[in-house]
């Protein structure tokens, strides 16, 4: 089963795409990209000029052969006469006619303009002061203007200092003046509007004739017959501007290309709004479509169309700005891709990578569900997968899930790690849920077949019926119940809500233990030890006790192990030792040689502070080292043997008695006897409790006593519960007895009373 997160409303994504597109459209943020794309399209659409407009260039060769500019009226008149005689339609003289030589030479030019059969065009332009905004017009003088049509020759530079568009006409006093491009292009549109220049026209294909060739009759008259002629400077000192995607060229060429643009058809500039609207519509379709393949295909086709369509449109003189539309499409694609990646990431986070099953994260995302949470644990899952090739684990899980589905009654099953499967059941415990689980147990008695191998599965179930708790906690508690069932050999177990309080207690146990030591909740219970020969109480074992103000007595096995694992055993041991030595000092001041025994964790044997701390506490209470016995559990293993043995030897050299506790229950009894400098061994209660009825226990205890005596060790028997056992120990010549028959663990005041020292201590 694939778990898909709920899909967010796409209208928010569409608004984001809209805003992005408007930024690129209204603010023209994508103008550089638009220009770059236009240049690329121009190169793809490159085609030659019509050839109907010919440039007569006053070039460097002309200046060399004829003379420097400005040319006088006679030269210009001669040039125009020759061109007119060749049959030109229009002749544009791109000169302000300010320096024409002598009056006679100027009059000669005026007469030529008046007599010309071709339509004469003369330039007019204006400039605007960037500071004051004052406009200054530069028009030809009336004596020449009355024989010609005056046209505007201003160029429009954009932010990149390139000429991208050209005016049809410009404001001129009370009316408008047609541009040179409009007149040569044959368009009479007096509106002050700009049209895009078609730079797909190759500037280098514009027909050009050197002015000196015409003056010296080195040209074919047919090359200019019935053509529009533009006479202008192209020499190296002539003013130049940059053509988009091309090098700077003489400014006259912009007017010629603009005219060529109009000759091929009136351009229609749709701007950015139309493609923007289309892109927004397409993006809405893509964002609202649930299928990613369809959405991706729609966006890809639309993006490709936005890039390719202008090439076809410009071939039909239709110009559009596509960057705002592309911005919308790209924004929609990125939003869709981000959402898809997020869903894929969430799917990976909610799916087991090996089996494809939804995991517990998917269950958490599914939210709280009513019903009983059931956790099934395959207890031997790790052993099975350890021997299976990785590619077969999915097959194993499929067979497990196939069986669990019989009891899941259509509920979704979620897989956790290490063979854990969880689902929720709407059937209550009282309504037959247990019978379903019993049936599942029956199914799992049959082995599964994976890759041709028969595999036995052991499964236990944990339940949490408490629907008031959060789902995450209920899953955890069901897993705890499944583990408890496995530990107790049951098929299933139901979580006990009361154990939550115990779990909370255990999680803060170490902090509570520190508080208990600081506030006197830890105290010592003394269990008397009797000399088997004299019958006198010669000592006691100091046993740690914890009385919590709310929970009451806390058993030692509930906190001693935790103290060892949590690094608190050193503080606890020294606290017990301090109290025990204080008690021993109080007794020894009133009675001769009373010994106190304290358990010593094997973890402390590596401590560099052990010997010095024990020595300090002995001196603090004024206790003879011989009155202290430190018991080391025989079942403990010696880690850093050299350090540990060295510490034990130093303690023994001080006169402290060392005892091997729980003797006979470990795995290295003889090794301990050989290596530890102990003065006594303490036979575990498991061998003493059946001493009066078990022949094997009697043989073992008796042989141990004889072995210890032969090695010079005393023997303490713990767990003496009856007079018969005590009598048997005496017969075996055991040295010391300890147990309920001798005395139960008791507070210090009760010990004083049993020793007959209560009155003197009062």
Q: How many Å apart are CA 532 and CA 730, to the nearest integer?
A: 6
pLDDT of residue 756: 85
Strands (E), 106-214: 119-128, 135-138, 149-152, 165-167, 169-172, 175-178, 194-196, 208-210
Residues 6+ apart with CB under 8 A from 740: 720, 721
Q: Return the half-sphere exposure (C-beta side, CA atoms, 13 A cut-off) of residue 195.
A: 28
The DSSP letter of residue 358 is B
Q: Which of 366, 373, 331 is nearest to 346 (CA)?
A: 366
CA distances to 357, 529, 726, 738 from 721, in Å? 59, 13, 8, 9
Alpha-carbon gap, residue 343 to 371, rounded angstroms = 28
What is the structure's pLDDT at 346?
62
Contact 724, 739 (CB under 8 A): no
In sequence order, what are the beta bridge partners of 126? 137
Cα Rg of the chain (Å, integer): 53
**CA 466, 472, 475, 481 torsion-angle sign:** negative
- Bridge partner list, 599: 631
Q: What is the pLDDT of residues 363-386, one digit of tens each?
A: 776 665 678 888 899 988 888 888
The token pair at 99 is: 């320096």
pLDDT of the residue at 1: 40
Domains of the chain listed by start with CATH number: 10-43+270-348 (no CATH), 48-266 (no CATH), 360-503 (3.30.70.270), 521-761 (3.20.20.450)
DSSP tag of 603: G
Look at residue 362 and give its three-state secondary structure. Answer: helix
Low-confidence ranges of the chain (pLDDT < 50): 1-7, 635, 639, 667-668, 760-762
State the distance between the two ends of the chain, measured CA to CA, in whole angstroms: 78
What count of residues does the chain have? 762
| Residue 695 DSSP SS3 | helix
Name which of 141, 131, 154, 49 is nearest 100 in CA terms.
141
Query: What does the pLDDT read at residue 497?
Result: 66
- Bond from prior residue into 523 cis (ω within 30 degrees of 0): no
From residue 709, give the alpha-carbon distance in Å to each of 679, 720, 727, 733.
10, 20, 19, 9
Packing angle of the helix pair 509-518, 499-507 (nearest 10 deg): 70
How much is the pTM? Answer: 0.53
CA distances from 470 to 369, 426, 695 (A): 9, 17, 58
Phi/psi class of residue 419: alpha, beta or left (left: φ > 0; alpha: ψ in -120 to 50)?
Answer: left
- Look up residue 311 and give its two tokens: 């090439």
C-beta of residue 715 within 8 angstroms of C-beta of residue 696: no
> Is residue 455 within a helix (H) or strand (E), and if so which, with residue range?
strand 453-455
What pLDDT was estimated at residue 515?
Answer: 87
CB 540 within 8 A of CB 599: no
For residue 233, give the H/E element and its range. Answer: strand 228-233
pLDDT score, position 617: 94
Cα–Cα distance between 56 and 229 in angstroms, integer? 7
Q: How many CB atoms lie within 10 A of CB 515?
A: 12
Compute the distance between CA of residue 633 and CA of residue 629 in angstroms, rounded to an integer: 13
């Amino acid at each position: 089963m694939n778990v898909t997160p709920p899909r967010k409303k796409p209208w928010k994504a569409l608004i984001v795409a809209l805003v992005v597109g408007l930024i690129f459209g209204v603010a023209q943020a994508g103008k550089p990209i638009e220009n770059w794309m236009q240049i690329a399209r121009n190169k793809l659409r490159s085609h030659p000029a019509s050839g109907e407009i010919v440039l007569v260039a006053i070039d460097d060769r002309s200046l060399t052969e004829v003379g420097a500019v400005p040319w006088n009226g006679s030269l210009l008149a001669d040039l125009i006469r020759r061109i007119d005689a060749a049959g030109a339609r229009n002749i544009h003289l791109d000169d302000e006619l300010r320096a024409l030589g002598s009056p006679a030479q100027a009059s000669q030019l005026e007469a030529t303009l008046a007599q010309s059969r071709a339509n004469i065009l003369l330039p007019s332009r204006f400039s605007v002061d960037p500071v004051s905004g004052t406009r200054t017009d530069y028009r030809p003088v009336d004596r020449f203007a009355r024989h010609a049509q005056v046209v505007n020759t201003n160029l429009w530079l954009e932010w990149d200092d390139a000429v991208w568009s050209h005016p049809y006409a410009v404001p001129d006093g009370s009316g408008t003046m047609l541009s040179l491009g409009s007149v040569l292009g044959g368009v009479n549109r007096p509106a002050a509007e700009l049209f895009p220049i078609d730079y797909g026209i190759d500037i280098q294909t514009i027909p050009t004739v050197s002015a000196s060739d015409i003056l010296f009759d080195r040209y074919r008259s047919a090359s200019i017959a019935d053509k529009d002629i533009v006479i202008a400077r192209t020499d190296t000192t002539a003013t130049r501007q940059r053509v988009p995607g091309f090098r700077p060229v003489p400014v006259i060429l912009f007017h010629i290309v603009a005219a060529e643009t109009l000759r091929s058809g009136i351009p229609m500039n749709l701007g950015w709004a139309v493609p923007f609207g289309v892109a927004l519509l397409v993006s809405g379709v893509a964002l609202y479509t649930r299928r990613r393949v369809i959405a991706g295909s729609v966006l890809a086709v639309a993006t490709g169309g936005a890039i390719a369509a202008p090439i076809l449109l410009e071939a039909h003189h239709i110009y559009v700005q596509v960057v705002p539309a592309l911005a919308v499409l790209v924004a929609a694609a990125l939003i869709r891709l981000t959402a898809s990646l997020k869903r894929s990431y969430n799917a990976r986070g909610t799916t087991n990578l090996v089996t494809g099953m939804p995991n517990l994260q998917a269950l958490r995302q599914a939210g709280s569900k009513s019903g009983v949470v059931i956790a099934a644990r395959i207890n031997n899952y790790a052993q099975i997968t350890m021997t299976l090739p990785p590619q077969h684990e999915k097959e194993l899980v499929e067979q497990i899930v196939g069986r669990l589905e019989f009891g899941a009654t259509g509920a979704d099953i979620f897989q956790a790690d290490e063979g854990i499967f969880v689902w929720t059941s709407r059937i209550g415990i009282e309504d037959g849920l247990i019978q379903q689980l019993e049936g599942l147990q029956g199914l799992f008695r049959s082995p599964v077949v994976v890759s041709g191998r028969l595999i036995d599965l052991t499964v236990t179930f944990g339940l949490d019926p408490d629907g008031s708790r959060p789902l995450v906690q209920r899953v955890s508690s069901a897993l705890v119940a499944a583990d408890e069932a496995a530990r107790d050999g049951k098929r299933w177990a139901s979580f006990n809500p009361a154990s939550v309080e115990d779990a909370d207690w255990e999680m803060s146990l170490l902090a509570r233990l520190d508080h208990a030591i600081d506030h006197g909740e830890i105290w010592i219970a003394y269990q008397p030890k009797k000399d088997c020969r004299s019958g006198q109480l010669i000592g006691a074992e100091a046993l740690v006790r914890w009385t919590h103000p709310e929970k009451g007595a806390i058993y030692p096995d509930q906190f001693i192990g935790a103290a060892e694992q949590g690094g608190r055993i050193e503080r606890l041991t020294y606290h017990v030792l301090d109290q025990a030595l204080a008690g021993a000092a109080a007794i020894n001041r009133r009675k001769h040689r009373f010994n106190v025994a304290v358990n010593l964790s094997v973890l402390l044997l590596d401590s560099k502070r052990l010997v010095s701390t024990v020595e300090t506490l002995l001196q603090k209470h004024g206790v003879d080292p011989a009155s202290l016995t430190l018991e080391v559990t025989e079942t403990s293993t010696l880690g850093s043997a050299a350090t540990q043995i060295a510490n034990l030897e130093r303690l023994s050299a001080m006169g402290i008695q060392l005892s091997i506790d729980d003797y006979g229950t470990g795995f290295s009894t003889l090794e301990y006897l050989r290596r530890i400098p102990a003065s006594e061994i303490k036979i575990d209660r498991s061998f003493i409790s059946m001493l009066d009825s078990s022949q094997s226990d009697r043989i073992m205890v008796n042989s141990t006593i004889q072995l210890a005596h032969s090695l010079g060790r005393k023997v303490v028997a713990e767990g003496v519960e009856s007079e018969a056992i005590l009598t048997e120990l005496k017969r075996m010549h055991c040295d010391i007895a300890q147990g309920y028959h001798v005395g139960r663990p008791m507070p210090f005041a009760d010990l004083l009373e049993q020793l007959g020292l209560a009155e003197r201590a009062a």
